[in-house]
Amino acid sequence: MTLMDALLDAPLSPSDALPTARADAAAGLSAQAVVFEGDKRLGLRELELIEPHADDIVVDVEWSGVSTGTERLLWSGDMPPFPGMGYPLVPGYEAIGRVARADVRPALLGRRVFVPGSHGFKNAKGLFGASAARVVVPAERATVIDDGLGEGGVLLALAATAYHAMAGADAPDLIVGHGVLGRLLARIAIAVGAQPPVVWEIDPERADGDGYAVIDPECDGRSDYRSIYDVSGDASIIDRLVAHMARGGEIVLAGFYTTPLSFTFPPAFMKEARLRVAAEWAPSDLERVLALLDDGALSFDGLITHRCAARDAPEAYRTAFEDSACLKMVLDWREMHDGRL
């Protein structure tokens, strides 16, 4: 039995059960959503939702996360051409909510699920479309999660991304960048039994390690790292990493880069360096992360630093993008469901 099967088999508590009237109310098929109208222009407005197909579910969102990587690039206009781009656009790929309608899979009704996004808006593009009070998604795209995760569930996409970067490869002995993704890489490496990595971080406010060393790269004299994971998004960093790597070592590009990457060939040749790009996470990565959380090997404690009511989304996004003390901003959508969440 998988963790998801066990969660589906678990009975709902009385406070979790949803009345039929609430499921019927979801047929209104509209929702408040964060909308990027263009470069550095965003707001909150009502959008029509598509009529659910037979295999779709409707989810009333409780919390969604703000990405300081891809969403910042979409907001600033620096995102390279990407399938599904265009304005107006609903951002976000991290949403947690309750299933309010599930025609084909009634066992999902009332369950808390993680949703990585939605394309279910009639008059706006969805890339990835999770930052809304209500979303329509294929049932297979929703993952049942334990109620105890609460708002922390918005971190599942990043955690699965971190796990995917390491899956089937050497765990990092050096991580570049100590934002949420860098912290999750370090925590997951330790959770699966690897030695604690070294983390490079130039912002002294982010130099707080959790069982591993966080140092300024200027203070690092090592040149024997065999597995380096870069989550900085700095397209010019490869030469610097090559200088600190062991012969035959690997650099894993786990960030997102908006400009072409380049490096000086002779030093990389002498080190016989290997480069690997970590792609999007898969459902199996999410299952492994949920298992690590379930057995207590992994924790999301301390990673969400800021919270804001969804009605204040413009202010929340500014904070997420401009305040270096903000590791993770969460939007709270619950008041938009008349207290029913």
pLDDT tens digits for 218-245?
999 999 999 999 999 899 999 999 999 9
Question: Which one of 9-13, 100-104, 307-311 scores highest in mean pLDDT?
Answer: 307-311
36 shares a domain with 96? yes
Q: What residues make up the domain containing 221?
A: 158-277
**Res 155: pLDDT:** 98
pLDDT value at residue 84 = 65
Residues 40 and 118 grouped into a single domain: yes
**For residues 58 and 134, what is the distance between their CA atoms, to the nearest angstrom?**
7
Residue 290 inside a domain? The answer is no
pLDDT value at residue 28: 57
Q: How many domains are there within the chain?
A: 2
CATH number of the domain at 189, please. 3.40.50.720
| Domain shared by 124 and 162, yes or no | no
Residues above pLDDT 90, as percent of the chain: 75
Q: How many CB atoms lie within 10 A of CB 335?
A: 12
Same domain, 201 and 126: no
Q: State the pLDDT at residue 338.
A: 65
- 112 and 20, same domain (yes or no): yes
Last residue of a domain, one of 259, 277, 295: 277
In a domain, 177, yes or no: yes
- Examine the domain organization and report whether 164 and 135 are in the same domain: no
CA distance 333 to 147: 16
Query: Is the pLDDT assigned to residue 5 strictly greater than 50?
Result: no
Q: Which of 258, 277, 296 is the last residue of a domain?
A: 277
Nearest to 159 by CA among 323, 301, 63: 301
How high is the pLDDT of residue 4? 42
In terms of domains, do 141 and 165 share one?
A: no
- Does the structure show a pLDDT above 90 at 304? yes
CATH number, position 134: 3.90.180.10
Query: Is the predicted pLDDT of residue 6 greater than 50, yes or no?
Result: no
Q: By C-alpha distance, which of 283, 280, 28, 279 is closest to 142?
A: 283
Average pLDDT across the chain, whole number: 89
| Rounded Cα distance, 256 and 69, in Å | 7
- Structure tokens of 18? 């949803």
81-116 pLDDT per residue, tens: 666 678 899 999 999 999 999 998 899 999 999 999
Q: Is 155 exposed, middle or buried (0-12, 13-18, 19+ CB in 10 A)?
A: buried
270 and 170 both lie in a single domain: yes
The region, left, alpha or beta by phi > 0 then psi within -120 to 50, assigned to residue 339 is: left
Q: How far is 159 from 166, CA to CA, in rounded Å?
A: 11
Tens-digit pLDDT profile for residues 242-299: 999 999 999 999 988 888 999 999 999 999 999 999 988 999 999 999 999 999 999 9
Domain membership flag for residue 242? yes
Residue 62 lies in a domain: yes
d(CA 109, CA 114): 14
The mean pLDDT value for 161-171 works out to: 95
Are 72 and 177 contained in the same domain? no
What is the per-residue pLDDT across 14-57, written as a single tens digit (0 to 9) for each? 344 443 334 444 445 899 999 998 778 899 999 999 999 999 99
